[in-house]
Structures are given as structure tokens and as C-alpha cells.
Structure 1
Amino acid sequence: MTPFQAVYGYLPPTVSFYLLGSSPVHMVDVTLRDCDSLLMQLQKNMQLAQHRMRQQADKHRSKRTFRVGDLIFLKLRPYRQTSVFKTHCPKLVPRYYGPFQVIARVDQVAYTMDLPTQSCIHPTFHVSLLKPKLGTNVVASATLPSISSDGLFLWFPERILQHGMFKCDNKK
């Protein structure tokens, strides 16, 4: 549906090209010919602008394709995905997690990955957030952070090194 049809509820009127000499009145003939040349110039300008914009956008794009079974790293953005990260300093959070295995290709630019069950995020991601795993020794964080149902990190200490009592407001 075009924006015109959404606003007015009917299809926009079609502008047909004028056939020279169709009108017996000379002034109408000249006016319609000028309108026709103006429409053709506008179409050319739109095509040139679209071509320039496409070239500028394609400069920053890279062609990335993955196959089912490939190992890839996942880029998570801490300022957007608050269900995964709740930290005071998002700059210090790891940028890439993984490697995870590709389960399916959803579209040309979207892939579904085999994420852990406790990850609390949707497993389908755009190709711009994925990076292929190169070599055998490249390892980032192997798992996503564990999160409770409240959205808080689950911390499990390995061992207690020291313990003591502290006073705060005359309370131990």
C-alpha cells in the first residue's frame, strides 16, 4: 500500500504521458508538453539520487554468509540488550560472545544460532552482529552470563579466601 492510499483510501491518480498534438488548443498543448518534460526530468533526478545513495550505502557493507554448522561469535550491545547485561560500566563488558553454532539461515541477512537455554534473548540475529570464528585457538567468553528470572546476574563463588565482621552504623 502506498502512503497516498493509506491516507486517502484510494489509489493515487496515474499520470500518463502526453501525446503531442492531442489537443486542438495550442496553449493546452504547450502546457501539457511542459508538464510532461518536467515529470521526465523529475524521474531522472530521482533515479540519479537513488543511485548515489545506493553507492554510498554499499561502501560500508560487507558480504557475509555462513553455512549451517559454522561457528560464529555474537556481538551483544549492552546499552540495547538490558536483559543480558545489567552493569554499571558497559564499556568493560566483553564485546563478542561465543563461538556458537549456526542452526538455520532465516533470510539472506539473518541467522538462527544455538544459544544456551538461560540466555533470555531471541536466537535469530542480523549478519552485522555476527563474526566468523577463524582458526582453532581463538576463544572469547564461552557462555553468555547467567541471569535469574528477575534479570540479575547469578554469581557463584569458587571459594572463600577470607571472612570477617565489619561495623556499619554500630551494627555488625
Structure 2
Amino acid sequence: MAPFESLYGRRYRSPVGWFEVAEIVLIGPESVYEAIEKVRLIRKRLRIAQSRQKSYANVRRRDLEFEVNDWVYLKISPMNGVKGFGKKGKLSPRYIGPYQILQRIGKVAYELDLLNELAPVHPVFHVSMLKMCIEDPISIIPLEGLVVDESLSYEEVPVDILDRQVKRLRNKEIVSVKVLWRNHLVEGAT
């Protein structure tokens, strides 16, 4: 007895086992030709749908490429020291730098000339971790006093409360607090 039959008391009726051996009819050449035509039609429609989706996806995509000796910023992520002030990664992306590109490794990796403060970090980064060097003082963090670990993250600590607001709704009040974080400018307060 088959395991399915012993467990459930009836035979397993998969699409393969629906017919008895004597009931099998040979498939003629016209049904094979019909199946081939259906497969060809399905492949054609899949190709059309894939090209349409690809055209939608590629509208805003831009491939980043840097040259040797270009200057780039390196993305790091904050870890909030106090959970009450927000979730991990809320303030990211934040960048440090700029750093000079020493060489290109493969199509999407670059080696940077890192300072001694980032000695434990491997100097090769994916292009998604880099940003072209354009001066933006709010998103760039000064490296003095910043401790970055191997996972390119640093501890985020609140320094001062700059402002408080109470928004009154019909049934409740929502309190908002503007916090100045360590290693950020006043413009970067959240």
C-alpha cells in the first residue's frame, strides 16, 4: 500500500494518476502543434510584459560611475543611543568625508583613501555607499570625535532639546520635541 493510501484510506489522485492505464489515448500531432503554438504565444506575451516593466524601471535609474582621483562622500548609519528619541537609521543617510578614489575594482566597487580614524574599516566600497562630492553642510558629519566601527555605524546621542511644541487635536495632544544630536549641526536637528 502507498503511504498516502495507508494514511488517508484512499488512493492519491494527482493529475498524473487520474487515468487508468487502459484509458490513456495517444496524443496526435495536431494537439502537439497546438501546445507548441500556445507556448510560443505565452513567450511572446511575457517578452512584451517584461519590456514594458523594464521601460518603467529604467526611467529614473542612473548608473553611478566615478573616475580615479574623484572625491566622494562615504555613507554611514547612525545608531540611536536612547530608543525614546527615534528608531535606528532614522537620520540616515549621513555622509563623512570627502575621500579620494584610489582605484576602481570591478564594475561597482571602488577603493578609497581612508584616514587613520577609519583604520579598522576595509577601504573597498560598493557604489551605493558613495556620493559625489557636492558641498552640503547639513548632511556631512565632521569626523572629529566620531567613532565609526567596522559596520560603518556610529552611536547617536542627544545633546540638547531645542524646541517643544504641542499640537492639539480634538481628543488628544501630540507633543513634538526638536533634538540636537551630537556630531551634527543645528540645521540637522530633528
TM-score (norm 1): 0.54
Matching residue of 2:103: 104
1:133-168: per-residue Cα shift (whole Å, max 9, x none)?
Answer: 13xx6563343822579x986xxxxxxxxxxxxxxx
Secondary structure class of the residue paired with 2:69: coil
**Counterpart position of 1:87:** 81
Q: Does 1:49 align with 2:28?
A: no
Partner Cα distance (2:98, 2:60) in 1: 25
Q: When you count strand as a share of all residues, which structure comes out higher?
A: 2
Identity %: 29
CA distance in 2: counterparts of 1:117 and 1:138, whole angstroms = 24
Q: Does the Cα contact within 8 Å between 2:76 and 2:92 map onto a contact in 1?
A: no
C-alpha distance in 2, partners of 1:121/1:53?
Answer: 38
Contact 2:94–2:141 (8 Å) recurs in 1: no
Tell me the CA shift for residue 46 of structure 1: 2.2
Q: Are 1:39 and 2:39 counterparts?
A: yes
Unaligned runs of at least 5 residues, structure 1: 1-26, 79-84, 154-172
Quick check: 1:106–1:112 contact (8 Å CA) kept in 2?
yes
CA RMSD between the two structures = 3.1
Q: 1:98 is paired with a residue of what secondary structure?
A: strand
The answer to whether the 8 Å contact 1:102/1:113 transfers is: yes
- SS of residue in 1 equivalent to 2:29: helix
**How much does 1:118 deviate?**
3.9
Written as runs of structure 1 = structure 2, the 5 A alignment for 1:13-162 is 28-78=28-78, 85=79, 87-88=81-82, 89=86, 90-92=89-91, 95-119=94-118, 120-134=120-134, 140-143=140-143, 145-147=146-148
Gap runs ≥5 in structure 2: 1-26, 156-190
- Cα–Cα, structure 1 residues 37 and 117, in superposed 2: closer, same or farther, change >3 Å? farther
What residue in structure 1 maps to residue 10 of structure 2?
none
Q: Distance in 2 between matches of 1:148 and 1:28?
A: 69
Residues 99 and 142 of structure 1 are in contact (CA less than 8 Å); yes or no, is this contact kept in structure 2?
no
Question: Using the alignment, how far apart are the partners of 1:106 and 1:99 within structure 2?
Answer: 19
Deviation at 1:67, TM superposition (A): 0.7
- Tell me how far 1:128 sits from its aligned partner: 2.8
Amino acid at match of 1:66: F
Instruction: State the TM-score, normalized to the length of structure 2.
Output: 0.50
User: Deviations 1:91-115 (Å, cap 9, x if unpaired)?
Assistant: 4567111101112212222222222
